[in-house]
Amino acid sequence: MIISSSADYRAAAQQFLPPFLFHYIDGGAYAEQTLRRNVDDFAAVALRQRVLKDMSQLDTSIELFGEKLSIPVALSPVGLTGMYRRRGEVQAARAADRHGIPFTMSSVSVCPIEEVAPKIQRPMWFQLYVLKDRGFMQNALERAQAAGCTTLVFTVDMPVPGARYRDAHSGMSGPNAPLRRYWQAVTHPRWAVDVGLLGRPHDLGNISAYRGSPTGLADYMGYLSANFDPSISWKDLEWIRAFWKGPMVIKGILDPEDAKDAVRFGADGIIVSNHGGRQLDGVLSSARALPAIADAVKGQIKILADSGIRNGLDVVRAIALGADCAMIGRAYIYALAAAGEAGVKHLLELLEKEMRVAMTLTSVARVADISGDLLVREA
Ligand SMILES: Cc1cc2nc3c(=O)[nH]c(=O)nc-3n(C[C@H](O)[C@H](O)[C@H](O)COP(=O)(O)O)c2cc1C
């Protein structure tokens, strides 16, 4: 299969993965309106082509939270990454590290923090959900800090899980799910060998480390649905702010008023995100939410954005719409499932090339010069 874009990686991932895992990654909440809009709204942003300005010296790097990033991109936290490729968190983190960008580990990863952190040079970012089990939260924060994680990504758009219709159809949940998953594994032998046999233990590494006993896929669903906490409010985050020594970033902001609250709270950054269209279907896409949020808080707090970013043009678009840095979820997960660490590294190279073309043809030499001026204003 010829791979020249993230769309190709998606097709390759679909061939490799058992359907319950492909659709778990690929799908969104309810009728998937927001999932589609995320991608379509970025794609619809028209850039102003400018020419003949000597673009021979381009610099795609940025500084963020005291770190240098080779491109303004970080990998978003994705749960169960080790189920998509053998020890997937390690492979994705290595690829990000080699490209000079941060990897964010999900709290519901397969590999535990301690397995991944020593395999990379740069400090890992760590993501935490608000869970009823505050003992787990405290334990995870302590372990993340001990392993040298710097930036904490605190996800706040999951006080309740969104319903994902595809999961019931694919075998991720629904009737006879274990039997259907078993059959799908048997009929996808490359995955069965790489992950099923050689990728063990299929654990929720961080939760098992806390509980002191192994946890599997059924525990994942059970633990999460029993532990989401709808009572959460800004006040509950204060002990975390006090406890965590490094930058704290709030993930799941879509409204300028919440962005202002994050500034008042003392967060270092926000991630404009609708969880990749996996939570409340019908909310704004990140592309459409960004400009008003940037108007409200730009310069007071770092603005990161994910949900719908599939290529280097989208990275430039996100920054032109007001972000300081982009993040990607599915784009790198498809590449990881298709080709492991090498796939993620190749995807990041593609993103960088696409960014360079976009910067050259919009005549901006540095990321700091990407602004709303790049956008075509419709009359
Ligand atoms: C399979 C999958 C699992 C995810 N797990 C998490 C998670 O554990 N924690 C979290 O904060 N976000 C999680 N997300 C959301 C991503 O961090 C990110 O917001 C989203 O993927 C961005 O949209 P994109 O996939 O269009 O790039 C997950 C997304 C996917 C696709």
* Residue of the CA atom closest to atom 27 of ligand 1: 329
Mutate to test the pocket of ligand 1, among 32, 76, 220 (most ligand atoms within 8 A of CB): 76
> What residue type is 168 in one-letter code?
A
Q: Is 170 marked as a binding-site residue?
A: no
Residue 325: strand pairing partners: 304
Q: Which of 285, 271, 269, 136 is nearest to 204 (CA)?
A: 136
Cβ contact 374:316 at 8 Å:
yes
Instruction: Please tell us whether the domain made up of 6-374 is placed in CATH 3.20.20.70.
Output: yes
- Do strands 104-105 and 125-129 pair parallel, antiparallel, or not at all (unpaired)? parallel
Which of these, 287, 304, 323, lies nearest to 45 by C-alpha position?
287
Query: Cα dist. 59→150, 179, 229, 314 in Å?
Result: 25, 52, 43, 17
Q: Which of 188, 202, 275, 346 is catalytic?
A: 275
Q: Which of 327, 337, 26, 331 is nearest to 155 (CA)?
A: 327
Looking from the CA of residue 273, the nearest atom of ligand 1 is 19
Whether residue 48 is annotated as binding a ligand: the answer is no
Cα of 241 vs centre of ligand 1, distance in Å, is 23
Omega before residue 178 within 30° of 0, cis: no
Question: For each of the chain's 379 residues, which pLDDT tens digit applies?
Answer: 899 999 999 999 999 999 999 999 999 999 999 999 999 999 999 999 999 999 999 999 999 999 999 999 999 999 999 999 999 999 999 999 999 999 999 999 999 999 999 999 999 999 998 888 888 899 999 999 999 999 999 999 988 888 899 999 999 988 899 999 999 999 999 999 999 999 999 989 998 888 888 777 677 777 777 888 888 899 989 999 999 999 999 999 999 999 999 999 999 999 999 999 999 999 999 999 999 999 999 999 999 999 999 999 999 999 999 999 999 999 999 999 999 999 999 999 999 999 999 999 999 999 999 999 999 987 5
Q: Residue ranges per domain, the chain?
A: 6-374
275 catalytic, yes or no?
Answer: yes
Torsion of CA 158, 16, 286, 347, to 10 degrees: 130
pTM above 0.85, yes or no: yes
